Amino acid sequence: MTSIADGIAGRPLAGAADTIARDETAPAKALPAITLPAAGERELRLDLFRGLALWLIFIDHLPPNLLTWFTIRNYGFSDATEIFIFISGYTAAFVYGRAMLESGFVVASARILRRVWQIYVAHVFLFTIFLAEISYVATSFENPLYTEEMGIMDFLKQPDVTIVQALLLRFRPVNMDVLPLYIVLMLFLPVILWLMKWRADATLGISVALYALTWRYDWYLSAYPNGYWAFNPFAWQLLFVFGAWCALGGARRMSSILSSRITLAISFAYLFAAFCVTLTWYLPQLGHVVPRRIEQWMYPIDKTDLDVLRFAHFLALAAVTVRFLPKDWPGLKSAWLRPLILCGQHSLEIFCLGVFLAFAGHFLLAEVSGGAAMHLLISISGILIMWAVAWVISWYKHVADKSASRTKGAGGNADLAGGGG
């Protein structure tokens, strides 16, 4: 893959066409929400924040270090996972929603299933390489704690059973929970888009209802050898569907709400309150700041089932971001942000690379040095490697596209979500 999905032009699904028609005849007005790009134009903000999420996930997978304090999970309830899943839903629906309108349900579903297969193969490949990496380190340095810490002890005890469970996405080592979640969500994307073609707002309502029922009846997917998925698809689908809803006209319809000063004030107030709460996690002497009744109501803030407080924190961050970072912001084309954007445009490869690098960094910190300087060196080196690989992939695609255009001519109907740069 180059990117999970590319921003391309396309009319929204049912419920938004009339709105856009009215907007086109109305006087030009800057909208704070993400809007549909013109033909051939990428939505660089999506690439930027997807790349940022990949960097933050990599840093968060390392042992705590100086750069860890720059990740958003230390200043609020949500973290980079929410960013990644929302943008994945937004971009996937944007591309395949247009395919469903133009080519029909069967063709769009075939494209989506092809993409699911690509992600699944990437997950299996990453699983194999990750196991080899951990096993080699544990054997070479005679330290079986690595296998236990990374969650592969059961695989070494019963490889025949465990490999089948891994292929069924029920067995996963540490740090390999995001791709299985994304695979499951993409499997249901054809149904989501078909429902949104019928009634987008009703589809979002169904998603909210499923989320509420999950909390009410404790629905979950079991994992092997025991326990449950680290990211419950029944709950996290809400963020994915919300991203799809925004891509297919919802963001435009919410523009008046997002541009409201009241919305901005509420968002800032909530972000500040979340910051005060997280501050008490690191400074226990400030524990009196949060009243006991509120603590009893609020905790635990569950990540597995996407706690409402985490979802609300993400919404507040998104509302502030689209208000102060317009689509035409010149900084999006600056050289300083190019590394982030490149990584976001090739998110599948960079995510897999980040998982591999995180364990390599963990190993170096345990066996070579655990000092602050080594922590900083490994973190920065990992980010630079991710950037370099993204640049190589982008260069290779550019060369391949030029070669293809010379032999086949311009104007192909590429499946951008399946491998556009």
pLDDT of residue 231: 97
- Looking up tokens 């070479």 gives 140
Total domains in the chain come to: 1
**pLDDT value of residue 126:** 94
Residues 6+ apart with CB under 8 A from 179: 119, 122, 123, 126, 351
Burial 288-297 (b: 16+ CB within 10 A, else e): eebeeeeeee
Please check whether residue 46 lies inside any domain of the structure: no
Residue 293 has phi, psi (to 5 degrees) of: -60, -40
Q: What is the pTM of this model?
A: 0.85
Domain that includes residue 141, residue range: 17-33+74-327
pLDDT reported for residue 123 = 96
Give domain status of residue 364, yes or no. Answer: no
Would 389 be classed as within a structural domain? no
Residue 407 confidence (pLDDT): 65
Q: Nearest CA to 276 among 267, 285, 286, 266?
A: 286
Q: Give pLDDT tens digits along the chain (421 positions).
A: 433 333 333 344 444 444 434 444 444 444 433 334 444 557 899 999 999 999 999 999 988 877 888 899 999 999 999 999 999 999 999 889 888 888 899 999 999 999 999 999 999 999 999 888 888 888 887 777 778 778 888 888 888 899 999 999 999 888 899 999 999 999 999 999 999 988 999 999 999 999 999 999 999 999 998 889 999 999 999 999 999 999 998 998 999 999 999 999 999 999 999 999 999 998 888 878 888 888 889 999 999 999 999 999 999 999 999 999 988 899 999 999 999 999 999 999 999 999 999 989 988 888 777 788 888 899 999 999 999 999 999 999 888 877 777 766 544 333 334 444 3
Q: What pLDDT score was predicted for residue 419?
A: 43
- Contact between 358 and 129 under an 8 Å Cβ cutoff? The reply is no
pLDDT at 66: 79
Burial of residue 32 (number of CB atoms within 10 Å: 0-12, 13-18, 19+): buried
Q: Between the CA of residue 226 and those of 83, 215, 306, what are the distances in Å? A: 28, 20, 21
The helix (run of H) or strand (run of E) holding residue 313 is: helix 308-324
Return the amino acid letter for 235. A
Instruction: Tell me whether residue 394 is in a domain.
Output: no
Q: Is residue 53 part of a domain?
A: no
Tell me, yes or no, whether 226 lies in a domain: yes
271 contact partners, CB below 8 Å, separation of at least 6: 76, 313, 316, 317, 320
> Which of 32, 30, 31, 36 has the alpha carbon at shortest distance from 16?
36
Q: Is residue 386 part of a domain?
A: no
Cα first-last separation, the chain: 8
Q: What pLDDT does residue 155 have?
A: 84
Specify if 135 maps to a domain.
Answer: yes
| Residue 225: strand, helix, or coil | coil
* Residues 104, 327 contacting (CB under 8 angstroms): no
